Structure 1
Amino acid sequence: MKTLGRFYLFAILAFLYTPIIVMMAMGFNESPLYQLPFSFSTRWYVALMGNTVLLTSGLNSIIIAVITAVVATTLGTVASVALSRRSFRGRSLLQLLLLPPIAIPWLITGTAMLIFFYWSGIGRGMHALIIGHVALAIPYVVIVVGTGFKTIRADLEEAAMSLGSTPIHAFYSVTLPLLFPSILGAALFAFAVSLDQFVISYFLATPGYTTLPVQIYSAIRKGFTPEINAISTILLLGSMAAILIFARFAKPGENRDPR
Structure 2
Amino acid sequence: MAAHTTAPGVDLPLPKPRTKGTSRAPGEKSLVASPTTWIVWAGVAAFFIYLLGILISVIVDSLGRPWFDSWLPENATTDWYTGAWERFGMAQVIGVTLTVAISVIVLSVLIGVPAAYLLARRSFPFKRILTLLFLLPVLMPPITYGIPLATVMYNFGLGRSLLAVILVNLVPSVPFVIMTMTPFIEQINPTIENAARMSGANMRMVFQKILLPLLVPGILAAAVLVLVRTVGMFELTYLVSGPGSDTLVVAIYRAMTASGGGEARQLVSSMAVVYTVTMMVILIIALRYVSPTQLVARVKESRED
TM-score by length of 2: 0.73
Counterparts of 1:209 and 1:249, CA distance in 2: 29
Matched, 1:105 2:141: yes
Report the Cα offset of residue 164 of structure 1. Answer: 4.7
Question: Which residue pairs with 1:225 in the alignment?
Answer: 265
Any gaps of 5 or more consecutive residues in structure 2?
Answer: 1-33
Question: Which residue pairs with 2:235 in the alignment?
Answer: 199
Q: 1:230 to 1:173 in 2, by over 3 A?
A: farther
**Equivalent in 113, 119, 123 of residue 87 of structure 1:** 123
Report the Cα offset of residue 227 of structure 1. Answer: 3.3
Further displaced range: 41-50 or 194-203:
41-50
Matched, 1:46 2:82: yes
Matched, 1:11 2:42: no
Counterparts of 2:245 and 2:289, CA distance in 1: 36
Structure 1 runs (4+) greater than 6 angstroms displaced: none
**Equivalent in 218, 236, 241 of residue 281 of structure 2:** 241
| AA partner of residue 12 (structure 1) | F
Total equivalences in the alignment: 258
Report the Cα offset of residue 234 of structure 1. Answer: 3.2
Contact 2:92 2:244 in 1 (8 A): no
**Equivalent in 139, 144, 147 of residue 183 of structure 2:** 147
Matched, 1:138 2:164: no
| AA partner of residue 24 (structure 1) | I
Counterparts of 1:21 and 1:179, CA distance in 2: 40
| AA partner of residue 144 (structure 1) | T
Further displaced range: 56-65 or 74-83:
56-65
Larger Rg: 2
Contact 2:256 2:268 in 1 (8 A): no
Counterparts of 1:88 and 1:247, CA distance in 2: 37
Counterparts of 1:51 and 1:121, CA distance in 2: 29
Counterparts of 1:236 and 1:190, CA distance in 2: 17
- Which protein has greater RCO, CA pairs closer than 8 Å, 6+ apart? 1
Further displaced range: 14-23 or 108-117:
14-23
**Equivalent in 240, 246, 252 of residue 210 of structure 1:** 246
Contact 1:151 1:255 in 2 (8 A): no
Contact 2:173 2:226 in 1 (8 A): yes
Contact 1:72 1:141 in 2 (8 A): yes
Contact 1:73 1:190 in 2 (8 A): no
Report the Cα offset of residue 133 of structure 1. Answer: 0.9
Further displaced range: 98-107 or 243-252:
243-252
**Equivalent in 66, 75, 78 of residue 114 of structure 2:** 78
Report the Cα offset of residue 116 of structure 1. Answer: 2.1
Contact 2:234 2:250 in 1 (8 A): yes
| AA partner of residue 297 (structure 2) | N
Q: 1:230 to 1:154 in 2, by over 3 A?
A: farther
User: CA-atom RMSD, angstroms?
Assistant: 2.6
Contact 1:216 1:228 in 2 (8 A): yes
Any gaps of 5 or more consecutive residues in structure 1?
Answer: none
Report the Cα offset of residue 105 of structure 1. Answer: 1.8
Further displaced range: 230-239 or 141-150:
230-239
| AA partner of residue 64 (structure 2) | E
TM-score by length of 1: 0.85
Question: Which residue pairs with 1:175 in the alignment?
Answer: 211
Matched, 1:252 2:292: yes
Contact 2:59 2:270 in 1 (8 A): yes
Contact 1:128 1:204 in 2 (8 A): yes
Q: 1:171 to 1:219 in 2, by over 3 A?
A: same
